[in-house]
């Protein structure tokens, strides 16, 4: 059974490109063997990540992330059983929201910045779908 999980968190320390690179490297190394695909969005001190895969694998990975000291204020935004993946082409895609047109963010939020804590899970998923449609997710494998 496939599931899709979307969560948001705040970084416990300053987010640097080295931190993002380390997260992506680890994800891209381990996710294929776990059958997990997804996308990591980051902007400022906020992360938003969608994970897709088998229920046990996704739940186990999410529980690992919850215990990761690099994250704080973790919020589960959306969780559903799905018939197919939306992010099948990415072992872990990446969106640096500083490079996204602010009008795209404003379409799904009250301000032109990533704030999944103030938006619904449905709006956050719609934003991710638009980022796919406009080819703003990098790291397709």
* Edge-to-edge order in the sheet of strand 93-96: 71-82, 2-11, 46-54, 37-43, 93-96
Q: Of all helices (H) and strands (E), which one includes residue 59? A: helix 55-67
Give the pLDDT confidence of 19-75 residue by residue, as tens digits: 888 888 888 899 999 999 998 888 888 999 999 999 999 999 999 999 999 899 999
Report the predicted TM-score, pTM, of the whole model to 2 decimal places: 0.88
């Amino acid at each position: 059974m496939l599931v899709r999980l979307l969560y948001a968190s705040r970084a416990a320390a300053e987010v640097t490109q080295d931190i993002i690179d380390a997260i992506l490297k680890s994800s891209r190394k381990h996710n294929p063997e776990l059958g997990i695909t997804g996308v990591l969005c980051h902007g400022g001190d906020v992360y938003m990540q969608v994970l897709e895969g088998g229920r046990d694998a996704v739940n186990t990975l999410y529980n690992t992330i919850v215990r990761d000291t690099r994250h704080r204020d973790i919020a589960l935004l959306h969780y559903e059983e799905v018939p197919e993946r939306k992010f099948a082409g990415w072992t872990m895609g990446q969106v640096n929201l500083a490079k996204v047109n602010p009008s795209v963010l404003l379409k799904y939020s009250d301000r032109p910045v990533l704030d999944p804590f103030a938006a619904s899970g449905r709006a956050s998923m719609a934003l991710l779908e638009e980022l796919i449609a406009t080819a703003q997710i990098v790291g397709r494998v």
